[in-house]
């Protein structure tokens, strides 16, 4: 049984596709797929349905970090291992899940901060006042918490970086565009937009351009994004409308497949498994990157 969060973004769709293409009958699986439509209560219901249907494994991508203890105890009582993917949980007892695979979101946030630090330096702007806004993802999700706090780690080292506002853009293009439109009305002279996923970024770029402003190298606003989805994010960077993008790998299903095979052989699995990720920017040879990149 797989409890997926929804279909809010290109990243999410690539992630769903990853599971559907790996967990096939041909590979020896029967996948029960549940789309929670952005509601934790739907995920709780899905896990309980999986228990009733006596699945062998539950794969769960938790929309937010808290509120899972009871349902995981129910899965444990039923003897069903729970594998967490992508986002993490804060639990009283970490024994309640078998293992987790996904991204180091805090590291992604720090990488974004370090990228900005280097870039401003290269432009001779390291001592200027830098006015920034953040488009945040789903509140209380690991991806939001990690990216916000990782960026804040670097922000705290720069007195001249001024974070004017942080607002929820729900990880969607429509909301990203709306919130960016509000920011542009509220604040003059925004230098940097930190956008916690690509779809909000695409919406933000629309809003910036509609307001008669420009972004990307040569433009007046620096936009930093997360996910680096193929090919849209690369196209924006190649067009010079997006500065930098922190990679977030959506293809987690092969790792889960390996984990399940190990568990079937009664072998141990690592509790926490991070996927490797990079940072891309508009100044790289992006065609070469896309050729060697697997997704
Ligand atoms: O960055 C965003 C998605 O949890 C890593 O959720 C995931 C995030 C991803 O909607 O695009």
Angle of the 10-22 helix axis to the 198-210 helix axis, nearest 10: 150
The preferred substitution site among 14, 171, 229 for testing ligand 1, maximizing ligand atoms within 8 Å of CB, is 171
Query: Within 13 Å and on the Cβ side, how many CA atoms surround 191?
Result: 16
What does pTM read for this prediction? Answer: 0.97
Tell me what percent of the residues of the chain surpass a pLDDT of 90.
98
Could you tell me which residues are beta bridge partners of residue 101? 85, 273
- pLDDT surpassing 80 at residue 60: yes
Q: Which residues contact 213 (CB under 8 A, 6 or more apart)?
A: 184, 219, 220, 221
For ligand 1, which residues put their CB under 6 angstroms from it?
8-9, 11-12, 86-87, 103, 143, 171, 197, 226-227, 248
Segment 44-55 mean pLDDT? 98
Strand-strand pairing, 279-281 and 244-247 = antiparallel
Strand-strand pairing, 222-227 and 272-274 = unpaired
Q: What residue's CA is closest to ligand 1, atom 4?
A: 143
- pLDDT surpassing 80 at residue 30: yes
Q: Which atom of ligand 1 is nearest to the CA of 198?
A: 11
182: buried, middle or exposed (CB in 10 Å: 19+, 13-18, 0-12)? middle
**pLDDT digits over 70-123, tens only?**
999 999 999 999 999 999 999 999 999 999 999 999 999 999 999 999 999 999
Identify the band that residue 293 occupies on the pLDDT scale cut at 50, 70 and 90: confident
- pLDDT surpassing 80 at residue 295: no
> In the β-sheet with 161-168, what is the strand arrangement from edge to edge?
161-168, 130-136, 192-195, 222-227, 244-247, 279-281
What is the predicted pLDDT for the residue at 168?
98
d(CA 219, CA 208): 10
- pLDDT surpassing 90 at residue 294: no
**pLDDT digits over 213-265, tens only?**
999 998 999 999 999 999 999 999 999 999 999 999 999 999 999 999 999 99
What is the predicted pLDDT for the residue at 177?
98
The preferred substitution site among 15, 16, 227, 229 for testing ligand 1, maximizing ligand atoms within 8 Å of CB, is 227
């Amino acid at each position: 049984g797989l409890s997926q969060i929804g279909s809010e973004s290109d990243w999410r769709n690539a992630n769903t596709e990853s599971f559907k293409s790996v967990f096939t009958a041909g590979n020896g699986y029967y996948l029960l797929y549940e789309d929670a439509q952005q509601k934790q209560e739907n995920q709780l219901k899905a896990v309980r349905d999986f228990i009733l249907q006596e699945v062998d494994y539950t794969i769960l991508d938790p929309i937010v970090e808290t509120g899972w203890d009871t349902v995981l105890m129910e899965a444990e009582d039923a003897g069903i291992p729970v594998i967490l993917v992508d986002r993490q949980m804060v639990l009283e007892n970490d024994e309640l899940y078998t293992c987790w695979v996904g991204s180091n979101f805090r590291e992604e946030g720090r990488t974004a901060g370090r990228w900005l630090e280097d870039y401003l330096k290269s432009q001779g702007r390291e001592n200027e006042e830098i006015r920034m806004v953040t488009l945040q993802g789903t509140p209380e999700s690991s991806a939001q918490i990690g990216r916000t706090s990782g960026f804040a780690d670097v922000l705290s080292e720069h007195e001249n970086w001024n974070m004017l506002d942080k607002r929820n853009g729900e990880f969607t293009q429509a909301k990203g565009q709306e919130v960016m439109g509000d920011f542009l009305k509220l604040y003059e002279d925004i230098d940097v937009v930190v956008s916690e996923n690509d779809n909000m970024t695409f919406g933000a770029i629309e809003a910036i351009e509609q307001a008669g402003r420009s972004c990307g190298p040569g433009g007046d606003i620096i936009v930093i994004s997360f996910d680096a989805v193929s090919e849209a994010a690369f196209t924006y960077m190649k067009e010079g409308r997006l500065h930098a993008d922190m990679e977030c790998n959506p293809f987690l299903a092969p790792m889960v497949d390996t984990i399940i095979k190990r568990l079937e052989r009664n072998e141990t699995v690592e509790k926490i498994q991070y996927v490797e990720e990079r940072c891309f920017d508009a100044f790289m040879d992006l065609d070469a990157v896309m050729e060697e990149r697997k997704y």
